[in-house]
């Protein structure tokens, strides 16, 4: 039977009388049996505790301190007489910190040992300690080791350069992975290696349940298994927001150990994955049954890995969300523009019937109105075609169909399309074509679309002067793998307002316009240049821009000759 009296029994002459001595049966350290000696020698518990290298505190179930050894007095600078029988958290407030207090309480609740780190600040210096807590007969035995030369033999304290470099390498590797699944696999393998473990896993909690979402080594058996969070190491790590250490996972019958009895796990460390104050899961590393416990240094290493991993997971999640949003936007645009195109096509047909006077003769004002209707309908159709082209490029549906054609023919076709607007604005439309015809092999529809976009913009953004399309042939400049290549240049220049250098690059982004306000003078979607650049790239070429504010712009489509 367990005694309800919360005192500790110390034998020998040096018994410190601060500790009440009432129970002489259950709490004293039993005499050591010796067959030769007629009487067993008494062992002085106080002397034994004082001889230990680590600081020891014994705390009763009412959280009052029952005993401190000499090392404790030395490390924490408080004489035993001042604090014995006082509340632990009042006497040593750093134990009241959320993570530490959770560790102490859970050790008392389930009787399993806990390991964790304690960081104490004095001025700018930070002292690190490793703490081990065990519960014996409702008493907590708190053992504090100074991080340097910790009892595990794994010298703790500051990370050495090699360790820091390897953690940095891991952080960089994780940051480079954008797929969450791949990231978790990398994390499990790396955490297992770095903490000298035989397995690792990432657990996620949703509501009342936890799930093993990724696993390596000895934890693979638990992959995709669900378990109640209540009473689990994962829940402890999530609640305390610190590293939790368990000595015998399977023996302590944690929920996951009950659900997957074949796991046969001994020591386990669990670190919460927290990024931007959001709990993303728990990272655990494990060793087989009866293996040595993880050291405070390894716990510290796991905490660092978990911090880096949480940021990488956060980034991967955001990226996944933005890709999903992008896909949804693409689908929305494609559906809407497709639905709009059908009635617009019908409208164009009716307008043509009216304009051709099939429905009867029109008066002059009626002809004028029909012309305006046709112009607006055409404008809308062009915009919708642009949005459809954008969706198609984004979805990777554009295919190159190459044919052989004369470049000059294409320039004439593009000029014919923009000619009505140029005439309306009284702009001169000119071309410079070389004497020798230039042939090229490319997708004629896509090249035409690019030229019409560039020439259309030139006319749209020029108020007086001219728009000129020049054709020339040259060779690639700079280093090109496989030697120089022949290229064809279509330069569309205008005498318009020009573009400031800081704006020029941005205009090739989708939906980007220099004058994007509601009061802008020119209509348009801001997609033309983006589509043109993407199509040019699809054809193995590019669009260069040269422009100065006030002196016009030149957009050059450069294509490989074959
Ligand atoms: P949109 O013409 O539908 O606005 P574009 O992608 O074709 O979309 O062009 C993006 C922006 O680039 C235009 O809104 C305009 O501000 C600028 N731009 C394009 N071509 C010219 C040009 N030739 N001269 C001046 N600005 C231009």
pLDDT tens, residue by residue, 519-535: 566 777 889 999 999 99
> How close is the Cα of 513 to the center of ligand 1, in Å?
6
Tell me, what's the pLDDT at 13? 45
Q: Which two tokens stand for residue 11?
A: 């034998």
What average pLDDT does this structure show over 108-137? 79
Rounded to the nearest angstrom, the distance between the alpha carbon of 384 and the centre of ligand 1 is 17
d(CA 181, CA 537): 32
What predicted TM-score, i.e. pTM, was given to this entire model?
0.56
| pLDDT (tens digit per residue) in 250-301 | 888 889 999 998 988 999 999 999 998 889 999 999 999 988 888 888 888 8
Nearest to 349 by CA among 386, 385, 374: 374
Q: Atom 11, ligand 1: which residue's CA is nearest? A: 513
The pLDDT tens digits for 142-154 are 999 875 433 344 4
Q: Evaluate if residue 34 carries a pLDDT over 60.
A: no
Task: Report the pLDDT averaged over residues 107-135.
Answer: 79
SS3 category, 558: strand
Both tokens of 546, joined, read: 């040269």
Tell me if 456 CB under 6 Å of ligand 1.
no
DSSP code per residue over 412-466:
HHHHHHHHHHHHHTT-EEEEE--SS--EEEE-HHHHHHHHHHHHHHHHHT-SSSE
Distance 391 CA to ligand 1 centre (A): 20
Structure tokens at 6: 């919360």
Ligand 1 center to 372 CA (angstroms): 24
CA distance 459 to 461: 6
Q: Give pLDDT, residue 331.
A: 86
Lowest mean pLDDT among 121-130, 136-145, 169-178: 121-130
Confidence bin at 477 (pLDDT 50/70/90)? low
- CA 515 to ligand 1: nearest atom: 16
Tens digits of residue pLDDT in 413-446: 999 999 999 999 999 999 999 999 999 999 999 9
């Amino acid at each position: 039977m367990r005694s309800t009296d919360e005192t500790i029994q110390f034998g020998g002459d040096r018994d410190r009388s601060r500790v009440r001595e009432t129970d002489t049966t259950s709490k004293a350290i039993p005499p050591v049996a010796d067959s030769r000696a007629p009487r067993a020698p008494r062992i002085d518990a106080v002397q034994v505790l004082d001889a230990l290298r680590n600081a020891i505190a014994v705390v009763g179930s009412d959280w009052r301190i029952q005993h401190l050894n000499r090392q404790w007095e030395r490390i924490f600078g408080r004489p035993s007489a001042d604090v014995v029988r006082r509340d632990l958290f009042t006497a040593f407030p750093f134990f009241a910190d959320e993570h530490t207090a959770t560790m102490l309480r859970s050790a008392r609740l389930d009787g399993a040992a806990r390991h964790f780190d304690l960081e104490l600040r004095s001025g700018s210096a930070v002292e690190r300690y490793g703490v081990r807590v065990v519960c014996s007969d409702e008493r907590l035995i708190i053992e504090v080791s100074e991080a340097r030369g910790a009892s595990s033999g794994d010298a703790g304290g500051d990370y050495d350069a090699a360790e820091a470099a390897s953690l940095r390498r891991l952080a960089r590797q994780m940051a480079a992975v954008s797929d969450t699944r791949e990231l978790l696999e990398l994390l499990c393998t790396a955490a297992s290696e770095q903490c000298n473990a035989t397995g690792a896993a990432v657990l996620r909690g949703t509501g009342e349940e936890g799930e093993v979402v990724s696993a390596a080594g000895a934890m693979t058996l638990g992959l995709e298994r669900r378990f109640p969070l209540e009473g689990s190491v994962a829940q402890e790590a999530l609640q305390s927001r610190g590293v939790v250490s368990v000595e015998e996972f399977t023996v302590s019958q944690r929920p996951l150990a009950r659900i997957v009895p074949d796991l046969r796990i001994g020591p386990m460390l669990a670190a919460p994955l927290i990024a931007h104050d959001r709990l993303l899961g728990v990272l655990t590393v494990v060793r087989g049954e009866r293996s040595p416990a993880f050291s405070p240094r390894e716990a510290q290493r796991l905490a660092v890995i978990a911090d880096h991993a949480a940021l990488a997971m956060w980034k991967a999640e955001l990226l996944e969300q933005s890709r999903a949003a992008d896909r949804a936007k693409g689908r929305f645009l494609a559906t809407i523009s497709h639905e709009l195109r059908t009635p617009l096509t019908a409208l164009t047909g009716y307008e043509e019937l009216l304009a051709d006077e099939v429905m009867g003769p029109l008066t002059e004002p009626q002809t004028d109105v029909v012309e305006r209707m046709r112009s607006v309908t055409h404008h809308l159709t062009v915009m919708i075609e642009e949005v459809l082209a954008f969706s198609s490029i984004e979805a990777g549906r554009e295919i190159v169909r190459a044919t052989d054609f004369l470049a000059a023919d294409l320039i004439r076709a593009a000029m014919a399309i923009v000619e009505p607007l140029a005439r309306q604005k009284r702009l001169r439309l000119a071309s410079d074509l070389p004497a020798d015809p230039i042939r090229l092999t490319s997708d004629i529809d896509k090249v035409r679309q690019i030229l019409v976009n560039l020439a259309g913009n030139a006319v749209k953004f020029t108020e007086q002067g001219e728009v000129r399309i020049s054709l020339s042939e040259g060779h690639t400049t700079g280093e090109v793998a496989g030697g120089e290549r022949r290229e064809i240049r279509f330069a569309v220049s205008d005498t318009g307002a020009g573009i400031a250098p800081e704006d020029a690059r941005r205009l090739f982004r989708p939906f980007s316009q220099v004058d994007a306000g509601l009061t802008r003078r020119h209509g348009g979607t801001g997609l033309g240049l983006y589509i043109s650049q993407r199509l040019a790239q699809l054809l193995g070429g590019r669009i260069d821009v040269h422009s100065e504010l006030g002196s016009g712009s030149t957009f050059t489509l450069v294509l490989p000759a074959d």
